[in-house]
Amino acid sequence: MTYAKVIFFVVFLLTAAFVQAQDNLAPEEVRRLTELHQAIRGTYQIQLKASRAQQSIELIMLDQIEANRSETEITFIPYGPNKRILILPRSTIEAKNFKPIKLISYSYIDEP
């Protein structure tokens, strides 16, 4: 298999998995959540402990991320075993020197 075919196959599988995972949502809801994801990208992080597996979150979690965002404090949401979501506060995001954070962090300490 050529490199291009392998890339195409991987992209196809990822797209199929994404579509199947969102089957229970109306197309308008998927569109809204996709737009929300683009708007808040870099303001939250999936943190994994003792794992190197690739991770993603379901689109419906984006509403929960925004609902749990604080004005001034970093917030954490448990998201499965050895996994949590770090949510930056609005004050940090709106700061002039804000730099988006990476989507995934592969280790964290037990205390926030």
62-112 tens-digit pLDDT: 999 999 999 999 999 998 888 899 999 999 999 999 999 998 888 766 655
The 10s digit of each residue's pLDDT in 26-54 is 888 888 888 988 899 999 998 888 766 66
pLDDT of residue 86: 94
Burial profile 40-66: b = 16 or more Cβ within 10 angstroms, e = fewer: beebbbbbbeeeeeeeebebebbeebe
The pTM (predicted TM-score) of the whole model is: 0.70
Tell me which of 100 and 55 has the higher pLDDT: 100
What span, in angstroms and rounded, lies between the C-alpha atoms of 94 and 61? Answer: 22
| Greatest alpha-carbon span in the chain | 51
Distances (CA, A) of 36 to 6, 49, 59, 81, 91: 31, 26, 9, 26, 19
